[in-house]
């Protein structure tokens, strides 16, 4: 499985283990890395007019020096640029010694539109913003119109967070990294700076992963496909999971219906929109397969959940912010682990706790391991209301989601173009399988309903959340332009059929 993501620190541990286990030493790995890059260049950009290799002072630069040597050996017109020679005794110093070309200073670098620029300035070891000749070389490369291939990571980009340190980074057409992808290849803006990312095998054995024990993956069906619910031959509608989706008042009912339809398409055998009395007639006018039940008070809610075997609940979309919402959330949470298998809190159910997030965290911290964690589905705005100190881009989105999941003892789906799903047990995924056409009103309601549909069928919370995010994204990719949230539930069956069969 290639879905593990390694932080730069974990990658350097993988390098260390590979070197300790032999047969390659550090220079051997560097030569393999350089060979993989040169092969990619000759396969993709063989007709470039000139090959410019920008080298930094560390091992990323060392990879570049190997590339320059191999391109020259292949008869390509190549210039290598480097300001400071690598420290004596390092692998990069060996790469420089093996290069028969004389390197040129970075300040003379200039590329034309038909050239190829190989960015080997900085990779995993970037510690501070690019300045001086490095920053100017990045500007010239980005403005040149030449194709740009980045070694390991575009220079200026943090492999940990996907953030650009200091505002300037290489914009690559292709990035070749080694062994496994890094979070920065998938998190934004990193993903859009990498271009196509290719992972090269440089001879590091997969066993290194056993020692490192990474807990971050690229979201992919391989991680959760075996947990997807399948109906049993002798099942009935309630044994397939009954989901309750909670509606707001008469002018805010659509969101709960979108979530309800998504839960039904996820395979829940029965789905009920639970509505305040004031919105019963609006909801009734728009529902057919989905059932309808009135509940204005907590005792009515509890009565319904207990009598109708509700296994999953989604509350928040269009529900309304305030005390009534807090009361319903805490009533549902009391039932979580008893009647209700799974609870999804979205939108207003999160915002309602803006003034007292600790109260929500205390509610959700159910002690017994037999109770599935709740699933929270904030976008960045809602996330900032519950976790103000974790808002903003100062820390990696993965770290922020993980910290949030631990605080609220729940699975957190931190939505956006690079949605992160984090579990309180520290597992996390980054999702890159989605179309920007998902940025349309109501698509988050569909996602929340999908999660509830899977939870009601007994799927574990983390896997249910990851599956819902990927399937939601897959639907958007298949539909493309013109997508509205109303289209999404109807797209779910085709994706599901590919994952579970007929
Ligand atoms: N390990 C292995 O065996 C293998 C590793 N491989 C390759 O190694 C790469 C990682 O190498 P690396 O650790 O040497 O880091 P790298 O990205 O070259 O930068 C470190 C140097 O840059 C400097 N520096 C940092 N930021 C700076 C700035 N803004 N402006 C100026 N200077 C700055 C920093 O200086 P310092 O911060 O220490 O002052 C240090 O000198 C990895 O991406 C992959 O390509 C492959 O060959 C496979 C085998
Ligand atoms: N640029 C994008 N690329 C991919 N997915 C996106 C993008 N922007 C938003 N999304 C996804 O669309 C959904 C929007 O949800 P949300 O913000 O709650 O909207 P709403 O409240 O209108 O339903 C989330 O699943 C989010 O991850
Ligand atoms: K680089």
pLDDT tens digits for range 300-313: 999 999 999 999 99
Contact indicator for 298, 328 with CB cutoff of 8 Å: yes
Asked whether 311 lines ligand 2 (CB < 6 A), one says no
Report CA(97)–ligand 1 centroid distance (Å): 18
Give the integer Cα–Cα distance in Å for 109 and 75: 20
Give the integer Cα–Cα distance in Å for 85 and 101: 14
How many other CB atoms are found less than 10 A from the CB of residue 236? 10
Whether this model's pTM surpasses 0.90: yes
Asked whether 203 lines ligand 1 (CB < 6 A), one says no
60 annotated to a ligand binding site: yes
175 by DSSP, 3-state: which? strand
pLDDT at 469 over 70: yes
pLDDT of residue 235: 76
Reported as a pLDDT band with limits 50, 70 and 90, residue 364 is very high
- Nearest ligand to the CA atom of 126: 1
Mean pLDDT of the chain: 96
Give the integer Cα–Cα distance in Å for 376 and 382: 10
pLDDT of residue 367: 61
Token pair of 20, please?
């300790």
- Give the residue ranges of DSSP H helices in 45-131: 59-73, 91-97
* Helix or strand (DSSP H, E) at 55: strand 51-55
Asked whether 384 lines ligand 2 (CB < 6 A), one says no
Task: Determine whether domain 221-225+242-500 maps to CATH 3.40.1190.20.
Answer: yes
Average pLDDT of the residues in 327-334: 96
- Residue recorded with tokens 């549902």: 332
pLDDT of residue 368: 60
- Report how far Cα 426 is from the mean position of its chain's Cα atoms: 14
Q: Whose CA is closest to atom 13 on ligand 1? A: 125
pLDDT of residue 66: 98
Average pLDDT of the residues in 37-63: 98
Weakest-pLDDT range from 178-187, 362-371, 450-459:
362-371
Report CA(222)–ligand 3 centroid distance (Å): 30
Q: Which of 331, 396, 340, 406 is nearest to 376 (CA)?
A: 406
Contact indicator for 55, 65 with CB cutoff of 8 Å: yes
Percent of the chain with pLDDT over 70: 99
How many other CB atoms are found less than 10 A from the CB of residue 378? 25
477 secondary structure, DSSP code: H
Non-local CB neighbours of 171 within 8 Å, separated by 6+ positions: 142, 148, 154, 193, 195
Reported as a pLDDT band with limits 50, 70 and 90, residue 444 is very high
Asked whether 122 lines ligand 1 (CB < 6 A), one says yes
Q: Whose CA is closest to atom 18 on ligand 2? A: 444
* Per-residue model confidence as pLDDT tens digits over 334-353: 998 877 779 999 999 999 99
184 annotated to a ligand binding site: no
Give the integer Cα–Cα distance in Å for 200 and 179: 6
Parallel, antiparallel or unpaired: strands 78-81 and 116-120:
unpaired
* Per-residue model confidence as pLDDT tens digits over 64-94: 999 999 999 999 999 999 999 999 999 999 9
Reported as a pLDDT band with limits 50, 70 and 90, residue 237 is confident
Domain parsing of the chain, residue ranges: 8-214, 221-225+242-500
Reported as a pLDDT band with limits 50, 70 and 90, residue 240 is confident
Ligand 1: which of 12, 60, 129, 157 to mutate, most ligand atoms within 8 Å of CB? 60
327 annotated to a ligand binding site: no
pLDDT at 1 over 80: no
- Superfamily (CATH) of domain 8-214: YjeF N-terminal domain (3.40.50.10260)
63 annotated to a ligand binding site: yes
Contact indicator for 387, 404 with CB cutoff of 8 Å: yes
Parallel, antiparallel or unpaired: strands 291-294 and 270-275:
parallel
Token pair of 227, please?
């947990």
How many other CB atoms are found less than 10 A from the CB of residue 484? 12
Give the integer Cα–Cα distance in Å for 440 and 456: 26
């Amino acid at each position: 499985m290639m879905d593990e993501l390694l932080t730069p620190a974990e990658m350097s541990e993988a390098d260390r283990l590979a070197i300790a286990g032999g047969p390659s030493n550090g220079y051997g790995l560097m030569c393999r890395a350089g060979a993989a890059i040169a092969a990619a260049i000759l396969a993709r950009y063989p007709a470039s007019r000139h090959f410019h290799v920008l080298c930094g002072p560390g091992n990323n630069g060392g990879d570049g020096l190997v590339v320059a040597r191999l391109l020259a050996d292949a008869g390509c017109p190549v210039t290598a640029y480097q300001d400071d020679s690598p420290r004596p005794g390092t692998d990069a110093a060996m790469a420089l010694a093996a290069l028969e070309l004389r390197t040129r200073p970075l300040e003379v670098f200039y590329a034309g539109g038909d050239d190829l620029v190989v960015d080997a300035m900085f990779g995993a070891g970037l510690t501070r913003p690019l300045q001086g000749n490095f920053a100017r070389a990045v500007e010239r490369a980005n403005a040149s119109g030449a194709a740009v291939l980045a070694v390991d990571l575009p220079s200026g980009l943090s492999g940990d967070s996907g953030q650009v340190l200091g505002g300037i980074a290489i914009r690559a057409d292709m990035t070749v990294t080694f062994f496994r992808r890094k979070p920065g290849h998938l998190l934004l803006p990193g993903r859009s700076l990498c271009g196509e990312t290719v992972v090269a095998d440089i001879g590091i054995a997969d066993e290194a992963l056993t020692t490192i024990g990474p807990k971050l993956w690229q979201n992919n069906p391989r991680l959760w496909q075996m947990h997807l619910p399948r109906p049993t031959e002798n099942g009935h509608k309630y044994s397939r999971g009954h989901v309750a989706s909670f509606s707001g008042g008469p002018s805010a009912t659509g969101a709960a219906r979108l979530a309800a339809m998504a839960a039904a398409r996820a395979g829940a055998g029965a789905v009920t929109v639970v509505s305040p009395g004031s919105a019963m007639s609006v909801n009734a006018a728009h529902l057919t397969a989905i059932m309808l039940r009135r509940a204005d008070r907590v005792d009515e809610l509890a009565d319904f959940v207990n009598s109708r075997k509700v296994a999953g609940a989604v509350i928040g979309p269009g529900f309304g912010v305030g005390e009534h919402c807090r009361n319903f959330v805490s009533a549902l949470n009391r039932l979580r682990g008893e009647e209700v298998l799974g609870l999804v809190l979205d939108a207003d159910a999160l915002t309602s706790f803006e003034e007292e997030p600790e109260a929500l965290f205390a509610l959700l911290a159910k002690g017994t391991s037999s109770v599935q964690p709740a699933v929270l589905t904030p976008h960045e705005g809602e996330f900032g209301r519950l976790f103000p100190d974790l808002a903003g881009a100062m820390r990696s989105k993965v770290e922020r989601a993980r910290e949030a999941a631990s605080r609220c003892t729940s699975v957190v789906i931190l939505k956006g173009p690079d949605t992160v799903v984090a579990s309180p047990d520290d597992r996390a995924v980054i999702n890159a399988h989605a179309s920007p056409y998902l940025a349309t009103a109501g698509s988050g309601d569909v996602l929340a309903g999908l999660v509830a549909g899977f939870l009601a069928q007994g799927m574990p919370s983390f896997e249910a959340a990851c599956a819902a995010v990927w399937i939601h994204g897959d639907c958007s990719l298949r539909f493309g332009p013109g997508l509205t949230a109303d289209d999404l539930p109807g797209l779910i069956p085709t994706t599901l059929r590919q994952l579970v069969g007929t």
